[in-house]
Every structure is written in structure tokens, then in C-alpha cells.
Amino acid sequence: MLNQGGRSFSGKERHCIFLNTGNDPRGNGQFANVSAITGLDFPDDGRAIGVVDWDQDGDQDLWLSNRNAPRLRFMRNEMPADKNYVALRLVGNGTTTNHDAIGARIEVVLDHSHSKATTESPAVAETLIQSLRAGEGFLAQSSKWVHFGLGDANTIKHVAVHWPNGKVENFNNLKVNHRYTLVQGSATATEATPPDRTIELATSSAKKKSAIPSMRIPLVALLRVPDLNYLDFRGNRQSLTTVSSGPLLINLWSTSCKPCLEELNDFTKRSEDIRSAGIRIVALSIDGLEKGPDAADASQEVLAKMGFPFDAGEATKELIQVLYSLKKSLLFSAQELPLPTSFLLDASGRLAVIYLGPVSVDNLLEDRHHASLTTEERYERSAALVGSMLKNDVTNKILEKNEAIAFYNFADSLREQGLRREADLQFAEAAKLQHSSPNAKKLVAEMLFKWSNLLAADENWSDAASAARKAIDKSPENAKYHYNLGVLSKRLGDLQTAQEHYENAIEIDPDLISAHVNLAMILAKKKEWKKAEKYFRRVSHARPHDAEIFYNLGVALAEQDKWQEASNQFRQALKIRPYFSQASKYLDRAKQNLKEEQK
Amino acid sequence: MADCDYRSPFWRNVVRWGLTLGCSALALFALLYVAGFFSSETSSSRAGKDSSGRLDVSDGSITDPQQMSATEIDNPANDGWPTEVFNNAAKKQLKKLAALLTQKDAPSAQSLAPLVTGDFNCTPLLPIHRETVFKDNDFHIQRAVTDSKVAAGDRASAHREYAHAEGLSKALQSLLNPFSTSEELHCKLKTFRVEPAENHIVTWQYFSCSGKSKDGMVEQHATWKIRWTRPAPGTAPRMESIEVENFEMTESHRGPESMFVDKTEAVLENNESYSKQLSWGLNRWLQRTQERRHLLGSPGIAIGDVNGDGLEDLYLCQELGIPNLLFIQNQDGTLDDVSAEWGVDWLQHSRSVLLLDLDNDTDQDLVVGFFGGVLIASNENGKRFKVRTILETSEDVMSLSAADFDNDGDLDLYASAYIHSPNEVASDSRSGNMPGAMSNLVFHDANTGASNSLLRNEIAGDDWAFVDATLETGLAKNNSRYSYAAAWEDYDNDGDQDLYVANDFGRDNLFQNTDGQFVDVGDQVGAEDAAAGMGITWGDYNHDGWMDAYISNMWSSAGNRIAFQPQFKTNAPPQLKKRIQRLARGNTLLENQQGQSFRDVSAAADVEVGRWAWSSKFVDLNNDSWEDLVVANGYVTNSNTSDL
């Protein structure tokens, strides 16, 4: 529940910056930890790092991205310019070399004889190398400008570019502390004119953010809300969801919650708008859950004072439980329900919108048609922010799978809570999902399979069989489904169908031994001994310690008058289980027959 | 789920238990321990009472973790890790010590007395014998001279001065002396190893302190070995001695500004998307998102000049329901949000992005890796992007990297992918499809991840075709790891592009390219770095003309504490034990041996502790021609910080 439950793991870790101490012999090849001095040691959940000389002032600036806030950081390098650099932009010919020259290796060859040391142990390497890469680190691409820090060296002998196709080209006459464009085949480094600009950027202030505002969450997957009950203020159980001529807003509130009261006031003031839009509201106080039956009067009084014109009552524990499972099945976050929370159902009892925090009446009016929109439209509305949806087969598959997962989760959580009837309804609803993507279909199939098993556990064989059949419709290539439908059909006395599905199961998964056993039994029952023999034989190889299989194989052989072989099988059965009376009886019979044959 | 039907209930509990904790290192290691992962027996094997009596492990009857609250799950006493219980007690004491350090005055003997025993002693915490190891105009770096270089008599006399609480007070006073003018002082102690002995317990911790003053900044990093009393139940442990094992101090004298200064606000504040989106973390959007899969935060970025004005622009990927953003740089260095105008404000769950010239027409095209596939869009006259194709790859696409692997003059793409989502497997409502959700995950050598794809560029005129060339190029081998990132580089200097793939839960790949055909030589050349790989960067860090690799991994103090216990996996073969210990050891620097092999120099270079590291990047921060390293880390920070 990491993340969903709001806990931290390896959180608030500070970024690490290691300074290369170069060839100073005292440094011993060991980097130094300069995390704090560089000012980069943020406790952010860091992800990508992009390197670029953003302000083109001759040093490397950084863009960092984070999981948490702020999602982006621009870190300007403000080192004094006491060391030298050269920056190069490569241009490939666009035919034998990609135009960006990604993959090029660049060598800068230096002359150190005129260097003025600013470092106690300056670099002395004659050649420095860099490569031009696209995509490095994690989720990051840096600038295509190739930047060489040159240390104290102030003379560049030449620059050699190994273009990605293997050709090497030298560029001469480059000066330190300049930016150049190197065009393939030109052998000339062109100085890049620095743009005429001044960059003055203020340092960021550390601002505190306010609390997360309330959330209106139009849903993509439209789950059927199970039948729910609440208590009216007289303590009588009332059904919430059975009678509905239009959308229904279930609102959870408490007398001690100020935003709740303001919200109920809003509903009251605009009751005409709400009513004429055909929306019904039921405001359910949760106070009774905490304070007991006495709380009802107080809640009723608050509403009476307000002149609240809609239905009201008290929430039950079961109702909260189901609403919470709904939210948890639909949303990533496992956060508890805040107050107020509202659920908008469409006229046919499907959950369309969740409101965490107060509902604005205008939003509510807009949302009453949400459930009648297409999946894509619902997706677009469900986004936290404005943007555009990619519409394409590949992206649709992901959307469909998400929808299937929501159904799966909810049906399963109802099942886990022991709410069988509600779970059944949900599974039935899921069966209606019309998905084109194979992944989503398979997911729904798995759900139906699960449902079938539940129904079978209740000995409701015909419904179980029909669920299994639906699973096969969605995903015909699953041996497990065929096998189960085989078992169920046999229970229902339909041997022919059972046989077909066992055969299908074996075709898909030849190693499914139980299917062989059951199929062989059916064939035996139908006195198709030759075929039965074939399957029993396969099973006997897979289960060499199962006496009954050898016995059955023996019978199948005996029925074909293959007495010699049959007696071998009965002997094998008796070897495994010496007091197997049926086997020994049959063996006697076999011996008898063999004697007669000899005569 | 189908697979569960065939799993024993015990095993399922263990798996769920791991899931509930996510991938926290403690869970990971405790999981391996409890489940007896490497014994030859199957799921029924359990760690029973240890006959030697060193450590009590519960008899395997695990409470259903779904019924446990978060704090219960975190209580190491329940997990049977007495050393973790001790660590929690010691942590409280160390926290008190760290708090005393950041007070205005150096801590007095009186305030330290409750933390130490009567016969406490320590070595000088600011080592007397130090030498400069690097010096230029910006940095002055000193380290402690190793004991062997100091005369024995000097060592002994130094010790005697620092006895009792008074001695500790004195030692701390001199340690903090370099910070005397600092206004902001941050100090931290993090325990990474616990070793119980007969009458005491020894812990090792990283000590760090940094401060800022008008003149400049100072930071200290050290490893302290602390010997503690074995506490009676209900009492706090006390320190018997502190020994400094290594010490480094860096000073800069360039005023109060750090080397890098945060200018984010100035660059972005003119955009609505800054205040409405970027100043909020993913947690806000997770409250409402209906996507449930692998939401660990994936804000990929790319830098490139999309409108051809010579100034670099920026593209940012965001998760489901929050739009991707494209910013164009103005002359004054600030950015303008043009996402909608350019038609790239997609709400799909995006991870990574590249700006490249795919059709060699001199402008920058766009590649976006999102949950489900890879999108290719062309740059239309520096005014907008037009979607050309969306390629279906493994769902869980992570980093992208491009190169012309077949040297035919155009750029090909490689998409790394993490979790394999087989069709039958539904999302587990509890896991959000976290990596731990995969059944049969072998943590140290997982081979059940998603396949990565090599997409060959076959653009011809208006037909923007890319062909999956993974199989035909040999890259389908060893291609079911949990891959987070890959980077191309010609490591053997033979003129073509080789590929390093960083994989979580096990071995990395180094694919050597020969005429466009790849062979995984990771094992052969010593580059497989079997750990929790998350990022990869290349650079010639030692100026020898060969590219070296630095790989981001996970460094976890809890993982280190547990995996190095003598009783951790007592029955495991030493090699396996080493592999598991390796998992939490941290980042790796592989020194290229002239293209023939790689030498792991991480420890000597002291670049292992990058914490829970994602991007790492070689970059010469100070223009001295030596590649430095920047490591972005941190897994998940939430308001509730009951962390390990």
C-alpha cells in the first residue's frame, strides 16, 4: 500500500554530488562529497537530470525533475569563470550520418604548455573525450551541445570528431571559452554567435503551499452501486438505491464539520435548480456511528433549522464500508473518506462521480450527464487538469484495461467482504463490458471465471456454467475455463458438452492431466473404450502412483477384449495398492478369459 | 488470480506481506530471510527457532498483514530482528546527539552525559592529522590521514584527552569549530551496520554536517564506529566509545551562495502551469487518479531546440491525467508553456521523452514513451508536433535512448520496460502492481520483467515507420529483466554503438554491437553489476580515453544493516549471500579497462552511497575537465514519514 496509504519509503533523501578530485595524488582516485556545497542536496524524490548550458555562459546548468513538489528545478551554475571550456554543436550530413550526430565521439586535444594553474594538481591529459548521447541516466535527455571543461588548459591543438559512421574529421583553430558549430565534411569550426541577451533570474523563494483543495472526480469505470440502506431519523431502515427516477447524490456529513454545513446550506439555497435538473439528494449524517442513537435528533435539528428540503438520515456502517470499497476500487489512493464526501449515481444506479470535499452545485448540475458520455469523453473529464487525450488503438487498450481492473477490484473486494449478492451483481455487470483489446477481454474473462467458481461453491451449477461460458467467450484460449465448464456440464448431466470442453482444454494445454482423467471417465461411461484407453494411458504416465488409473485403464482394455494388456494394468494397480479388491476381482476375470482363449 | 490457486497460503501471505510494505528494503530482506528463499525446500520451509539462540525468529505463523496497521508492520520486534529493535533505540540516542550539535553552543558535558557511559572515550572527532587532497579556487578538501601514517604515540595521547562526557564535549567542540561562523547547520547520523557482540553492540554510521556562513560553506562527512552497552529492557543504550574510521571536510570560500542556485521560479513563474501543476507533487494527483499501475513518479525530461532559434527548450512528461508540458525558452532565459499550441499536452501516463531529428530534415522531432507504447511525432516547421505513429511495445515503458545502431544514417530507438503484464494477471488491488506484486520474483536475479524493444527507423517520405528489430539483432536474449534505463556508448572504441541496460533486481546487460548484431557480454567483461539498477551514465572519469560507466542502484541503510548480520541467511551459500548483500550496496563505478573488461572501483572511488538513486549523470560541474557525478535520489516521500 506504499504510496496509496500515504507512507514514506527512503523518503527525504538528499541528492548526492561527488566531485572528481582528478589526478591529485593525495586524492587517491577518491571522489569528494560536495552535496551541500553545490547546493544540489535537495531532499526531493528526484528522478531525471538534464544537463545544459542554459544561459550559454560557459558552464553546465541542471534541470532536475521530481516525483514530489516542485516537479521541476532549474539550477543555475554560478561558479566563477576561472577555468576554461569549449562547447561544440555537431551537425551530421543527414545521409550517412544522422543530422544530430548522436553517437559521435569527440576528442579535444590540448596543449598544456601555456596553462596557468588554478588547481594545485591540474589535469595533464593531452586528450579529453566526450560522446554525444540521446537518453541517459533515468528518463532524461540532456542538451546536444557537447561541453568540455578544460581546466587550466588554454590552448586547443585541434578537435577530432569520430562521426557515428566511423569517419574521423579534424577541426582546427578553436579557441578556449568559445562555442562552435562543427559541420560534417566542412573541416571548419564555425563560431556560434552568442545570442544577444541578458539573463537575470531571481533566486526561488521557499513557499509553503496551502492544503489540497476539494476534489471532484468524474469516473471512467461506471460501477454498479449495490443496494444500500440507511436509517431515517426514526431509526427505520430505508433503501437508497432501489427507487430512482434520476441521478442521486449520496452526501456524507457530520454536525461537527463546518464545510459540510456550508455545503448543505448551498444545496438548500439552490434546491430548485437541483430539483429541476432531476437530481435527488440524500444527506446522511455519520454522527450516529460515533455517538450512538442519540445523535439522530441533533442531526435532524440542524437540518430542520436550515430548512433542508431533501431526504436525510443516518449512515450505517455497511453503507460506509461499501462506499469506501467503491472508492478504493476506483482510485489509486487508499486514503479514507474525508468529510464531506459525496457520491453521484446515475438513474440506473451506476456511480458516476466522487466528490472528496464540498460539492459545488454548478459542478453537480454539469455532472448529471457524465455517465451517458463515451469512455473517451469520461476519460477526458476525469483528468485532473486540462489537456488532450491521444486517440488511438494502442492508447485505447490501456484505457479499457483500466476500466476492467476497476470492475475486477470492486467485485473482488465485495466478495472478500462476504457481500455475495452484491458481488454477483457486479460480476454480471462486468460481463457486459464491451472491450475490444485482448488484454481487457482476458481480464474480464478471469473475473468471470472467478465468479463461476464462487457460484460453483454455492452448488449453483447452471449459473456457474453460464459464467464459465461467458469467460470462454471473452477468452477462448484458456484451458482452465474449458476444464471448469467441462466439470460443470457434467454436473448438469450434459456429457456431450463436458466432453467437448475437456477436449478443448487438452488441446490448449496437453499437460492438463485432470482434464484427461475426466474426459476418459466420460468416454468410459459412453463405452467409447478405445478412446478412453488412450486418455487413461496418458494419465498413467503422469500419475504412476495412482492405482485407480491403472485399474481404469485395465477396464478399458478388458472391454476391448485386450485381456493380456488388461491383466498387466490390474497387476500394476495391485502393486500400488495390494488390497484393491475390484482390481483383483477383475484380474481373476482376465486370467479366466486368457485361459479360455488359450483353449 | 489464477496463480494464487496453486500457491500455498503461507507463501501467499509472505508475498502479500512484502507487497504491503512495497519495495522497502527491510521488507525485501526480511522476506528473503523468512521465506528461506534459497534453501532447496520450497515454500513450506520456514525459519524456525535458531538453535544457537542468537536470534529468535517467529515460527512462521504470520498474522494476515492486511489486518495489521502500518505501525505494527514496521515494528521490527514482530519481525524477529532484535538488531533492528536495537537500532531503533540507538537511533533515538543519535537523534538527540545530532540535535545537540546544531544548537548555538557546542554541547556541554552535562547534556551529553545521558548518552554515554561513565568510562566513555573517543578518538578526536575532528582528526588532528589531516591532509589536503584537492585544492583550487573553489574547493579545499581535506581528509584524515590513515592511522598507519601517524606515529603510535601520537595516536594514544590523542585518545586520552577525550574521555567521559567531558571528553566527548571537547571532541565535538573541535569538530564544530569550522562551523563557528555558520548560520545554518545541518547534522545527521545514519546507521548502516549493526554488529552484536557478547557484552556490547557495535554500530557504524555515516556522519554528515554542513553549514553556511557569510564567507562560504563547509561540509564534513565521516564514518563513526560506535560501541554501545547492551541495554536492559526499557532502558536506552549508551555509547561506550566512538572511533572515527574516515573523515573528509570540504570548504569553499566564495561567500554565502552555493555553487548552484535555484532559479526555477524566475524561469517558470509566468506560466499558469507552474503554480497549478509544477508546484504540486504527484501525491496531490494520486489522490484522484484512476490509473493504478506503477505510479512511482516518472517525470521524464528532454532538452532540445524545438523552434530552431538557437535556444534550448524543455519537454516534461507527466503521469495520467496531468498533461505533458512543452516550454520554449525566451531570450531572457525564461520559459513559455506552449504545450496546447504545439499539440503535445497529452494526458496519457507518460514517462520519457527524446527530442531528435528522426527524418534528417534538420529540425527536432519528438518521441514520447508512455504506459502502453512509444509515440513518434514530427516537427512541423518549428510550430507544432504532428503525431505520426504510436508503437505498441511492452506496457511499462521507462527510459528511451536513441542511436544509429546499424550506421545507416538515421536514428533508431531503444525503449526499456519494467513490469511484464501478462494478460491473465490482473492488478492486485493491494499492490497497485508494484514490482513486488510479481509472483516468483527472485529478488537478486529476476527474469520475469517486461521485454525491451529496439525500434529501427524506416522512415520513408511521409511514411514514418519503425520496425521492431529486437529479435533479429540478438537483443531478445536476456531481455526479460526489470529495466529502468539504457544508454548507448562505444565502450570498446570500435566505431559502433554498444548498449548498457540497467536492470532492477539483478544483472544488467552490456550488449556489444558487431555489424548491427548484439551479444550480451555483461558477465564476460565484468559489467553485469547485479543489483537494483535504475540508471546509467557514461564518462571518461579518469582521462584514459575509454568510457567508464556509472550505474544508479539502491543504497539502503536498512538493507545494509540486515544483509550484513552474521545471522542473515546463515544457510545460504556464500556467493548467494554476497549477491543479496550486493543488492543494497549502492551505486557502481565501472572503470573501462581499454575496452577489454570493466573493473568495479566504486568503493575506492567512494561513490557507492547514492541512496535510492534514479538518474545519475557524469557532468563536469566546475569545468576542471574531470567528470563529476550528480545523483538524484529518493523513493517516495509522503507526509507520514514513518520511514526505515
Q: Which of A423-427, A588-592, B218-222, B583-587 has the highest mean pLDDT?
A: B218-222
Confidence (pLDDT) at B1: 28
Assess B592–A contact: CB distance below 8 Å, yes or no. no
Contact state of B351 with A139 under an 8 Å Cβ cutoff: yes
Give pLDDT tens digits for B299-317.
999 999 999 999 999 999 9
Q: What is the mean pLDDT of residues A487-498?
A: 92
Confidence (pLDDT) at B445: 67
Min distance B87 CA to chain A CA atoms (Å): 17
Mutate to test the interface with A, among B264, B291, B515, B627 (most CBs of A within 10 A): B264
- A597 or A315, greater pLDDT: A315
- B16 or B353, greater pLDDT: B353
Within 459-488 of B, beta carbons closer than 8 Å to A belong to: 484-488
Confidence (pLDDT) at A413: 84
Question: Are residues B332 and A199 in contact, defined by beta-carbon separation less than 8 angstroms?
Answer: yes
Mutate to test the interface with B, among A4, A12, A14, A16 (most CBs of B within 10 A): A16
d(CA A179, CA A146): 10
* Residue in the block written with cell 562526557: B165
pLDDT at A320 over 90: yes
User: Exposed, middle or buried by CB within 10 Å (0-12, 13-18, 19+), for B381?
Assistant: exposed
Q: How many residues does chain A have?
A: 599
Confidence (pLDDT) at A196: 79
pLDDT at B636 over 50: yes
Confidence (pLDDT) at B84: 81
d(CA B181, CA B170): 18
Write out the three cell numbers for A510.
Answer: 496437453
Interface pTM (ipTM) of the complex? 0.87
* Of A36, A395, A480, Cβ closest to residue B2: A480
Confidence (pLDDT) at B60: 22
- A121 or B616, greater pLDDT: B616
Residue closest to A122 by CA, chosen among A146, A149, A162, A142: A149
Contact state of B360 with A98 under an 8 Å Cβ cutoff: yes
Contact state of A149 with B617 under an 8 Å Cβ cutoff: no
Percent of chain A whose predicted confidence (pLDDT) is above 90: 62
Within 71-130 of B, beta carbons closer than 8 Å to A belong to: none
- In A68-154, the DSSP E strands lie at 72-77, 84-91, 105-111, 127-131, 140-141, 146-151
Confidence (pLDDT) at A596: 85
Give pLDDT tens digits for A534-584.
999 998 998 899 898 999 999 999 999 999 999 999 999 999 999 989 899
Q: What is the mean pLDDT of residues A492-505?
A: 94
Contact state of B286 with A80 under an 8 Å Cβ cutoff: no
pLDDT at B196 over 90: no
d(CA A43, CA A39): 11
Q: What is the 3-state secondary structure (H, E, C) of B297-333?
A: CCCCEEEECCCCCCCCEEEECCCCCCCCEEEEECCCC
Lowest mean pLDDT among A25-39, A189-203, B321-335, B422-436: B422-436
Residue of A nearest to B433 (CA): A1
For residue B558, give every residue at least 6 positions away whose Cβ sits within 8 Å of its Cβ, in sequence order, or none. Answer: B24, B25, B26, B29, B84, B584, B644
Mean pLDDT over each residue of chain A, to the nearest integer: 91
Confidence (pLDDT) at A400: 84
Q: What is the mean pLDDT of residues A131-145?
A: 98
Assess B29–A contact: CB distance below 8 Å, yes or no. no
Residue closest to B327 by CA, chosen among B361, B347, B304: B304
pLDDT at A292 over 90: no
Assess B279–A contact: CB distance below 8 Å, yes or no. yes
* Of B343, B432, B625, Cβ closest to residue A150: B625
Confidence (pLDDT) at A185: 95
* Of B300, B554, B628, Cβ closest to residue A139: B300
Min distance B219 CA to chain A CA atoms (Å): 7
Confidence (pLDDT) at B29: 38
- In B321-392, the DSSP E strands lie at 325-329, 335-337, 350-356, 365-370, 373-380, 384-392
Domains and their CATH numbers in chain A: 18-75 (no CATH), 84-191 (2.60.40), 215-386 (3.40.30.10), 510-599 (1.25.40.10)
Confidence (pLDDT) at B566: 67
- Chain B neighbors of A212, CB-CB under 8 A: 284, 287
Contact state of B634 with A120 under an 8 Å Cβ cutoff: no
pLDDT at B443 over 70: no
- Chain A neighbors of B256, CB-CB under 8 A: none
Assess B381–A contact: CB distance below 8 Å, yes or no. no
Residue of A nearest to B312 (CA): A54
* Of B260, B290, B297, Cβ closest to residue A402: B290
Q: How confident is the model at residue B569 (pLDDT cuts 50, 70, 90)?
A: low
**Is the whole-model pTM more than 0.80?**
yes
- Chain A neighbors of B70, CB-CB under 8 A: 1, 5, 7
Residue closest to B549 by CA, chosen among B584, B612, B499, B583: B499
- Biggest CA pair distance of chain A: 117
Question: Are residues A191 and A178 in contact, defined by beta-carbon separation less than 8 angstroms?
Answer: yes
pLDDT at B35 over 60: no
- In A26-104, the DSSP E strands lie at 32-33, 46-52, 61-66, 72-77, 84-91
Contact state of A100 with B411 under an 8 Å Cβ cutoff: yes
Q: How confident is the model at residue B287 (pLDDT cuts 50, 70, 90)?
A: confident
- B65 or A346, greater pLDDT: A346
- B582 or A447, greater pLDDT: A447
Question: Are residues A355 and A342 in contact, defined by beta-carbon separation less than 8 angstroms?
Answer: yes
Confidence (pLDDT) at A210: 62
d(CA B225, CA B203): 6
Confidence (pLDDT) at B51: 26
d(CA B278, CA B265): 10
d(CA A566, CA A580): 15
Contact state of B133 with A70 under an 8 Å Cβ cutoff: no
- B66 or A198, greater pLDDT: A198
Q: How confident is the model at residue A9 (pLDDT cuts 50, 70, 90)?
A: confident
Min distance B208 CA to chain A CA atoms (Å): 10
Residue of B nearest to A390 (CA): B346
Confidence (pLDDT) at B468: 97
Confidence (pLDDT) at B434: 35
Mean pLDDT over each residue of chain B, to the nearest integer: 81
Give pLDDT tens digits for B592-622.
999 999 999 999 999 999 888 999 999 999 9
B39: DSSP letter: S
Contact state of A66 with B281 under an 8 Å Cβ cutoff: yes
- B447 or A467, greater pLDDT: A467
> What DSSP letter does each residue of B438-501 carry, written as one string?
STT--TTS---SPPPEEEEE--BTTB--EEE-TTTTTTTTT--SEEEEEEEE-TT-SSS-EEEE
Q: What is the mean pLDDT of residues A399-419?
A: 84
